[in-house]
Structure 1
Amino acid sequence: MDSGELRRRHATAEAVPRQAAPADPAPIRARPAGTARLPGAGSVTAGHALLRHPGGAHHALLHQGDDTFALVDLDAAFAGRPAVLAGVANPWPGWRNSASAASADGGLVVLSGQRSVLALEPDGRTRWEYRHGCWGDGPHRHGGAEPCRGLAQGSVQVGADGGLVWAHVLPDIDHGDPDTDSYEQWLVLDAADGTVLGVARIEGGSQGSHHLPHPDDGSRMILGTGQGQDGSPAYVGHWDGSALTVQEIGDGFRIPVAVHPGGRAFLSTPHGFDPLVLHRFPDGRVLMERDAADLAGGEDDAEDDADGTEPAWDFVAGFVDGHTVIADAYDAHHHREASRHWLLDALTLRPLGPIAYPDGDRDPVRGGYAVALGDGTWLTLAADGTTLNRWSAHRR
C-alpha cells in the first residue's frame, strides 16, 4: 500500500475497536527465494549491518576479520553476480563494534568509532574525520588507534539522498565534568566535507544506538538508543536545511526497528512482555499494538507471566512489504531457543500465521532473527553461519 492508503486506513482503524486475533492461525509456508554465502553474514541478521536504500537496493557493511570492511550489494550476491562495492581497511584494528553506514551508490562509507566518525572513499582514502568524545569506560589515556576499554558506542547513517550524515556521538569533553557527562549529541554533517550543520543534545547514558532512515530526501531520521535495564530512549530528527529539530518519541522503553515503506509509520519492539507497536510518523502516536499472547488466540493470565511461560516479542521486527510485518516471538520459559517467526497484517498487527520453513539444512538457525527487506522477502541465517537464505511467503 502507498502512504496515502496507509493514512486513510489508519484514519478508519482509529474509529473502530481493535480487531481480535484469530484462534490458532494456520502456518504460512516459507518459499525459498535464493541463497548467498558471505563472510560475516551473521551480522546482517544479528545487528544493523543491513542497509536499506530508496528504490529497493539492499547493501550490507560486513566485517572481514578484524582488519577490513566490505560493502556488499546483497541483491547482486543473491543473483550470483560480483557483489563487493567497496573494501576499506578498519582504521581501528581490534574494534568490531562499529555501527556504520554507506551511501546508496556505494560512493561513501562512514564508520562510527570510539573517538571519531570517519568518512571514506570506496578505495579507502579518508574524505573527512569528525573527532568526538571517547565512548571508552571512565577517565583514561588514548594509545593511538588502539581500542579503549569498554563496549559502548554510537552510530551513524547516511541520509536517503546521500547529502547528509547523521551521527550519535559523545561531546568532546572530560568524563569527570558533571555538567557535561549527562548528555550526548546527535549531529547532522555535510557528507561532502564533514561540516557540522546541526547539533542537538539528547539524554546521556547510552551503551549503543542505531539509526533508521526515513525514505524521503534524507532530512528525517529515527535514532534508537540503548541504556540496558534503564531504558531505550528514541528520537525523531528533522533537518529543514537550516536547523535541526529533535523530539523524543515513546515512553523511554521502546526500540524503534523499522519504518514503513511509505514512510508514514514505524514499528517498535518492547522490553519484556510489552506489545509490539505500530506508531505514526513523525510524532510517535500509537496507531495499533499487539500482545504476544494473541499469537495463541487467547490471553494468558498473571500466573503465566509469573512462571515465565508467557510468549514475548523479541527485539527484531520489520516490514516484509507495505502490507505485511514479520516479527520474532519466543516462549520466555524456553527463552530464544524456542523462538518462531510470525507474519502479521501491517495495519492491524493481526497475526496471519507462524512461518513454516522447509525441512533440511536451509532452515534458519534455531532461535535466529528474521530480517525483512521490504520487497516481499526476508532473510535468515543458515546453520553454517555464513549463508543468508532469502524467503517469500507462499500464499494460497
Structure 2
Amino acid sequence: MTFHARPTGTVLLPDAAAVVGGHALLRHPSGSRHALLRDAGTIRLADLLAAFDGGPGLLAVVPDPWPGWRNSACGASADGSLIVLAGQRSVLALEADGRTRWEYRHGCWGDGPHAHGSADVPCHGLWSGSCAVSPDGTLVWAHVLPDLDHGDLAVDSYEEWLILDAADGAVPGRARLEGGTGGSNHLPYPDGAHMLLSTGQGQDGTPAYLGHWDGTGLTVREVGDGFRIPVDVHSSGRAFLSTPHGRDGLQLHRSTDGLVVTERAAGDLVADGDEAPRWGYAAGFVDGHTVIAAAHDAGRREERQHWLLDALTLRPLGPVAYPRPVGGYPLALGDGSWLTPDAGGSALLRWKGGRTAA
C-alpha cells in the first residue's frame, strides 16, 4: 500500500537541511515548532508553523556570539523570549533582543590540552554538548564538560548534565555522565520534569540517558543498550522512539525506564527473497497513531524511502510517494504533518498524508 503525500506549504530558510538533518528544530510539548538557525553572522529564531500558515515567522534575530563555532546545539523558550546556546566553552543565555542574560562557563570541548584564543576562533575539534529550555521556560538543561581544561585524564573520564536556572544561570541540579561524547541532543517530555539526552561516541556507541528533575535534585538513569538513538517522544509522554546505531530495528520504548515494547526490523519492509534495506537515523511520531521513518536501499545508502508505520506495533503501513523530488530525511511534527527539504536543500516542505492508499 503506497501513500501519497499532500504538500501543505513551503518555507525558504537559510539552511533548510539543518532543520531536518540536524538539531535546529525545537519541538516544544506545547505544540510550537521553532527553528534556530545561523545566517550571515546572526542566529535566527523562526516560528515554523506560523511561517507555513503565511504569517510572520521570525521571532528573534541576535548576533552570533561565536561566529567561528559551528557545532553548537541550541535551545529556546516556547514563547521565544529566551535563546540558549551551547558553545565550546560556555552555555550562553540571550534575551530576544540579543542582550546577555547570563553565561555559564565550563570545560572546553576542544581536543587535548591547549591554550584558548578569542571567542570567534574555536579550539581544534568537532566535539560539543547541547542544551534545552524546559517547557515552562524556567529551567535550562545543559550537557557540558567539567569546569577544567580538557585534556586532564581525571576530567576526561566524565561529563556533566546540569539543571540551570533560566533566570540567572544558577545550578540547582548536577549529575555525572560517562565521558567520550562527540555530540548530543535533548528531547523534552511533556510533563516538564523529564528529559532524554542522546549522546554520540562514534564507533563506541550512542549512550542515552533519562533525566528527572523533582524540584530539588536531578536523577539520571541510562536507557537502552548503548547503541540506540532516541529521536522522538510520544505526545502522551508514555513512550519514546529510537533508531539504530547499526543494523538493528526501530524500537518503541516505555518512557519510565526505556524498556523495549516493540521492535521492527527493516527486513519487514520487503517481500521474501528481496535484499533487506537498513533503517536510517530519522524517525518520529507524525501523530499519536503513526510513525514516519526513513530506510536506505540495500547497498545504496544515498537512496532513501520514507515509510509510514503504526505507532504502537511499528507495523509497516506503506511507503510514501511524493509529487515532487525531496531531499534528506523526514521530520515528524506530531500534528499529523512532517517536513522534508526540497531536492536542492534551500526550501522546507511540509506534508500531510492519511491512511488512504494511492
Question: TM class by shorter-chain length?
Answer: over 0.9
Give the CA deviation at 1:395: 3.5
Matches within 5 A, 1:322-361: 322-335=288-301, 337-358=302-323, 360=324
Alpha-carbon separation, structure 2, partners of 1:203 and 1:394: 42
Distance 1:186 1:298 in 2: 46
Deviations 1:37-73 (A, max 9, x none): 12122210111111111331111101113x1110000
Q: Are 1:136 and 2:116 an aligned pair? A: no
Instruction: State the Cα distance separating 1:93 from its structure 2 match.
Output: 1.2
Please report the TM-score for the alignment, with normalisation by the length of structure 1.
Answer: 0.88
Distance (Å, rounded) in 1 between the aligned partners of 2:223 and 2:269 = 27
Counting aligned pairs with the same residue, the percent is: 66
Amino acid at match of 1:134: C
Structure (1 or 2) with the greater strand fraction: 2
Match of 2:140 among 165, 168, 173: 165
- In the TM superposition, what whole-angstrom CA distance separates every residue of 1:125-184 from its partner, at most 9, and x where no partner exists? 000000000001111111120211111000000111111100000001233432221000
Q: Report the Cα distance in structure 1 between the residues aligned to 2:355 and 2:256, rounded to whole angstroms.
A: 33
- State the Cα deviation string for residues 242-283 of structure 1 (Å, max 9, x = none): 010000000000000000011100001002210100000020
CA contact (8 A) 2:29 2:189 kept: no
Q: How many pairs are equivalent?
A: 355
1: distance between equivalents of 2:247 and 2:271?
A: 16
Amino acid at match of 1:370: P
Change (3 A) 1:103 1:296: same
How far apart are 1:331 and its partner, in Å?
1.8
| Larger Cα-atom Rg | 1
Q: Is the 8 A contact 2:195 2:212 kept in 1?
A: yes
Q: Distance in 2 between matches of 1:369 and 1:151?
A: 23
Equivalent position to 1:387, from 324, 338, 347: 347
Partner of 1:37: 12
Which amino acid in structure 1 is aligned with residue 336 of structure 2?
Answer: G
Q: Which moved more, 1:317-326 or 1:380-389?
A: 380-389
2:125 to 150, 156, 160: 150
Deviations 1:185-228 (A, max 9, x none): 00001111110011100000000000001011x22100000000
**Alignment RMSD:** 1.2
Rounded Cα–Cα distance in structure 2 between residues aligned with 1:45 and 1:54:
18
Query: Residues of 2 paired with 1:152 and 1:268: CA distance?
Result: 22
1:81 to 2:68 alignment: no
- The verdict on how the C-alpha distance between 1:72 and 1:52 changes in structure 2, with shifts beyond 3 A counting, is same
Counterpart in the other structure of 1:3: none
The alignment partner of 1:180 has SS state of helix
Contact 1:293/1:299 (<8 A) preserved = no
Unaligned runs of 5+ in 2: none
| Counterparts of 1:220 and 1:394, CA distance in 2 | 31
* Structure 1 residue aligned with 2:76: 102
Counterpart Cα distance in 2 of 1:185 and 1:290: 33
Whether the 8 Å contact between 1:54 and 1:160 is mirrored in structure 2 is yes
Shift of 1:299: 7.6
- The runs of 4+ residues in structure 1 deviating greater than 6 Å are none
8 Å Cα contact 1:33/1:390 also seen in 2: yes
